[in-house]
Structure 1
Amino acid sequence: MKFFIVSKGDTKSNALKDKMMNYMVDMGMTPDEKTPEIVISVGGDGTLLQAFHSYQHLMDHTAFVGVHTGHLGFYADWLPHEVERLIISIQNDEFQVIEYPLLETIVRYGAAGTETRYLALNEATLRTNNGTTLVMDVDIRNQHFERFRGDGLCISTPSGSTAYNKALGGALIHPSLEAIQITEIASINNRVFRTVGSPLVLPKHHTCHVNPVNSEIYNLTIDHINLVHKGVKSIQFRVADEKIRFARFRPFPFWRRVHDSFISAE
């Protein structure tokens, strides 16, 4: 089994990474940073997002598992005192691979018809670079839906629906559903300007395009990565063909994660 461990970088996470690395090597597993079969993130959900973006080109080859050294996360299943059990399970191939949908974002530019493609595990957000009102024509399935005016738009995956999308009042969507969700960020609604005012859930076969009304420089975040774009002609959002693969060693139902993260006082 070829593996690699990504650490949050704090003292606790680094020490646990070193402990796991030594244990796994002693058990005959092979460290491989370039083409690992399994990637272990040690830290929190942010660390797993970092690992995903480092290995998104290996989606068909690599499975991810998270060990959390802080608060319980949606992607980090294991506690530090459980890592020996985890490593033995990896050694014995005692895990099931489950897949979650990803968000594909394609930015198209006016100049020379060029484009840039991104994958997101949680969400993409779109705002203007200078803090002015974002004005975008929103098309769904190549039909004009609305002209959005507001602070921005958040487009999330089902697993990312519990993150920024939830803070915006979006719905929580089970990751077994191949869908994306479009949620408004402080939209302007009055007698002159109107938006739908509710989150939209699009199935896999539906595509959303947002087209700039004004010539602006835009901030596009892909998960934790902030990108600046200018000369944008349109931005396309859809469910990606790729999926992230998680190594699941024990049941940890999505709704239980929701309960433990947002409801349980224990």
Structure 2
Amino acid sequence: MSERRNIYFYSNQQDIEEKVELLKKTAIQYDFHIVDNDRDANIIVSVGSDGTFLQAVRKSGFRDDCLYVGVSTKDRLGMYCDFHIDDLSEMVEAMNKDKIEVRRYPIIQVNIDQQGSFYCLNEFSIRSSIIKTFVMDVYIDDLLFETFRGDGLLIATPTGSTAYNKSVNGAIVDPLLPCIQVSELASLNNNQYRTLGSSFILSGSRKLTLKVVQSGNDYPIMGMDNEAISIQHVDKIDISLNDKKIKTVKLKDNSFWEKVQRIFL
């Protein structure tokens, strides 16, 4: 981090302004420069929760030329937050004693009806907006793999595997594996209709394509991380792992699996 000195602080909590100011003063003491625009920063510090971290990455444009740092304001640390706002001394010690390292996380690229690319650090989801079975043809590369019927589908990155994906019984995936995971949301399986019925993991070199069968579901609910987008009459969605990597600062003694153990066990 020695060559990166311009820091932008992102927070959406009004009640922690004093603590954020203290963070800024501490950063200045160690010769960092505080900037008012994320475009001028080469370090972006998110102060809040994992959700705040996701918003910071999204609102700054999924930059792969800067470092993202997660600072938690909650009772415990999250998957993206290695530091706590009340532990300034730990942050300083980590920087001074080389206890931090850079971890690169893959992101999903989503193209909806060729209208432009969107990115997700955790997951992309598509669901029916009405009480009616959602029908989609699922292609892996050019292979028609299955016709899905149910509430919707969830496509997660390895780091996103511990979030929404886990709540629908998807697998937790090591983020060192470049891949995407596809999980079903209330699939319909009977003597007439059949899906795989379980999550499956695709290599990062493969492309997933969803073709929506127009049967009344003209306004699906699509989620990108913790934000929703509104596009009407969706026909085709191409999803793949992007070459971009989000660089995050983490403690060397706080690996992904140590976080999983701490949060879930």
Normalising by the residue count of structure 2, what TM-score does the alignment of the two structures yield?
A: 0.91
For 1:83-133, what per-residue CA distance to the aligned partner results, in whole angstroms no more than 9, with x for missing partners?
24424655898742220111111101xxxxx42211111101101233422
Q: Which runs of 4+ in 1 moved over 3 A?
A: 87-95
Opposite residue 16 of structure 1, the aligned amino acid is: K
Offset, 1:31? 1.3
> Cα–Cα, structure 1 residues 57 and 66, in superposed 2: closer, same or farther, change >3 Å?
closer
In structure 2, C-alpha distance between the alignment counterparts of 1:253 and 1:57, rounded to whole Å: 22
Distance verdict in 2 for CA 1:89–1:35, change over 3 Å:
farther
Cα shift readout 1:201-238 (whole Å, capped 9, x = no counterpart):
00111111000111522211000111122232200111
Alignment partner for residue 247 of structure 2, among 223, 245, 249? 245
- Structure 2 counterpart SS, 1:232: coil
1:66 is the counterpart of 2:73: no
Identical pairs, percent: 31
The one-letter amino acid paired with 1:101 is P
Give the alignment of 1:246-261 within 5 angstroms: 246-261=248-263
Conserved 8 A contact 2:99-2:252: no
Matched ranges for 1:56-135 at <5 A: 56-59=61-64, 61-70=65-74, 71-87=76-92, 89-90=94-95, 95-108=100-113, 114-135=114-135
Q: Report the AA paired with residue 66 of structure 1.
A: G
Find the counterpart in structure 1 of residue 195 from structure 2. Answer: 195
Amino acid in structure 2 at the alignment position of 1:157: T
Matching residue's letter, 1:69: T
Task: Give matches, 1:95-244, under 5 Å.
Answer: 95-108=100-113, 114-214=114-214, 216-244=218-246
* Worse overlay, 207-216 or 193-202: 207-216
Aligned 8 A contact 2:112 2:234 in 1: yes
Amino acid at match of 2:170: G
Structure 1 portions without partners, runs of 5+ = 109-113
Superposed CA deviations along residues 171-217 of structure 1, whole A, max 9, x for unmatched, are 00010000000000000001111100010100111111000111522
Counterpart selection for 1:19 from 11, 19, 22 = 22
- Please report how far the alpha carbon of residue 25 of structure 1 lies from its aligned counterpart in structure 2 after TM superposition: 2.3
Residue 72 of structure 1 aligns to which amino acid in structure 2? L
Match of 1:111 in 2: none
What amino acid does structure 1 have at the position aligned with 2:141? Answer: R
2:57 is matched with which residue?
A: 52
SS in 1 for 2:230: strand
Could you tell me which runs of 5 or more consecutive residues in structure 2 were left unpaired when the two chains were aligned: none
Contact 1:100–1:244, Cα closer than 8 Å, also in 2: yes
Cα distance, 1:35–1:20 mapped onto 2, change above 3 Å: same
1:31–1:131 distance in 2 versus 1, CA, 3 Å: farther
User: How much has 1:81 moved relative to structure 2?
Assistant: 3.2
Measured on the aligned residues, the alpha-carbon RMSD in Å equals 1.8
Structure in which a larger fraction of residues adopt strand? 1
Residues 141-177 of structure 1, C-alpha deviations (whole Å, 9 max, x = no match): 1110010000010000000000010000000001000
Q: In the comparison of the two structures, how many residue pairs are matched? A: 256
Separation in 1, partners of 2:131, 2:57: 29
3-state SS, counterpart of residue 241 of structure 2: strand
Q: Give the partner amino acid of 2:157.
A: T
* Secondary structure, counterpart of 1:73 in structure 2: coil
Give TM-score scaled by structure 1 length: 0.90
